[in-house]
Amino acid sequence: MHMQTHGPSTVRDEINLLIFFLPNLFASFGSYFFILLHTKKLIWIILIIVDKGDYISPKYHLFSFLYSRLEGFYVDDALQGQGIYTYEDGGALHGTYIDGELNGPAQEFNPEGQLVFRGQYKDNIHYGLCWIYYTDGACVVGEVNEDGEMTGKSVSYVYPDGRTALYGSFVDGELIEARLATLTTQENSRPYFTVDPDSLVYCYDKSTSSCIAGHKLLPDPYESQRVYVGQSLISGAGEGLFTKIEAEANTVMAFYNGVRITHTEVDSRDWSLNGNTISLDEDTVIDVPEPFNLTENYCASLGHKANHSFTPNCKYDQYVHPRFGRIKCIRTIRAVEKDEELTVAYGYDHEPSGKSGPEAPEWYTKQLLEFQQRESGEDADETC
């Protein structure tokens, strides 16, 4: 990308021009800087006149633009070598610059300091082997195309265990068609996978309001290694979810996929129809309605089989799944033993909301009362 700039020579050395054309990409031209701000409807190009910034050394510049900043070593007003761009939200891109452009190894972190990208840049674009990390613990790895997109036939999605993978075709990081594989080793950050010759084919299969999945009886391979469905140890709870393995705290164990409906629909119907609903966000509720509550009709995910407890060993968490898209998962909050039942706190509202009582089904309010009575009894025993 080239741009000619014009300005009085007497002030040329005192102003800079930043072109900010993508959230992760920026380039410098001469001594001027533009900032490009855009929304879905409007674009603003603003000339920002700044001084040379805070000099940490004769060649080290720290430029601040609004609430973001760019720092590194400059030669003839062009960033050279290692530089750090800190985003307005606190995220940061640590990269290698040649003549003001990203060229070479780079790492990117979100505002919480979690690694979200590791790889190479060439002329401000992702290049070569790149790793894209999700905050849920999974990642996508492969050679990006000429546009810097994770598109190709040899891309892998790696589950949070760092070994179980889906290897195959992806477009811009989205699963098209893949087979079960195992990440066997890494050499110089390059992963090597062994593909299961007997693997079934996994495709992107995001649910809608009327379709829970295209392949309802195709289990998730990661989940299948970790959990099974059995008779719950909780009285009257029916089936429950149990672990096949010992697992540490903060381990993803199962996935909660289902049809996607609105909060309005859920709130307008009887509690008896909401036994397998969970809020995904302020707009969407995930539901596993009849007859898909039976594993003989649906077993692509099993997270809905986890029962409630006021002393749970797991929690619901956000997850970006290669087949199902954005859903929720079940993650341990403490270490669990093999064959232990996995439970979560359903999180119904305990407080009365008017004449109708608490925002919870009858079985929940009954369990809550029993739990509170047990807790009160234990507290009384401790004070004696």
Please check whether residue 181 lies inside any domain of the structure. Answer: no
CA distance 167 to 182: 9
Please check whether residue 333 lies inside any domain of the structure. Answer: yes
Please check whether residue 256 lies inside any domain of the structure. Answer: yes
Residue-wise pLDDT for 101-151, tens only, equals 999 999 999 999 999 999 999 999 999 999 999 999 999 999 999 999 999
> Looking at residue 285, what is its pLDDT?
97
> Looking at residue 2, what is its pLDDT?
29
Give the DSSP H/E element, type plus range, for residue 70: strand 68-75
> Looking at residue 46, what is its pLDDT?
42
CB contact at 8 A, 137 and 317: no
> Looking at residue 365, what is its pLDDT?
75
Residues in the chain, pLDDT under 50: 1-59, 354-355
3-state helix, strand, coil in the chain (%, to 5): 10, 45, 45
> Looking at residue 350, what is its pLDDT?
56
> Looking at residue 25, what is its pLDDT?
38
> Looking at residue 77, what is its pLDDT?
81
Q: Provide the domain limits for residue 315.
A: 221-349
CA distance 357 to 362: 10
Please check whether residue 4 lies inside any domain of the structure. Answer: no
Please check whether residue 304 lies inside any domain of the structure. Answer: yes
Backbone φ, ψ for residue 64 (5° rounding): -115, 130
> Looking at residue 278, what is its pLDDT?
95
Please check whether residue 203 lies inside any domain of the structure. Answer: no
Residue-wise pLDDT for 175-199, tens only, equals 999 999 999 999 988 999 999 999 9
Closest CA to 361 of 341, 375, 346: 346
Tokens 């993978």 correspond to 165
Catalytic site residues?
Answer: 256, 304, 308, 316, 346
Number of domains in the chain: 1
Please check whether residue 343 lies inside any domain of the structure. Answer: yes
> Looking at residue 74, what is its pLDDT?
84
In terms of phi and psi (left: phi > 0; alpha: psi -120 to 50; beta: otherwise), the region of 153 is alpha
> Looking at residue 372, what is its pLDDT?
76
Please check whether residue 303 lies inside any domain of the structure. Answer: yes
Q: What is the pTM of this model?
A: 0.79
> Looking at residue 35, what is its pLDDT?
46
CB contact at 8 A, 308 and 344: yes
Question: Residue 272's domain is classified under what CATH number?
Answer: 2.170.270.10
Please calculate the CA angle 164-156-126 and round it to the nearest 5 degrees.
140
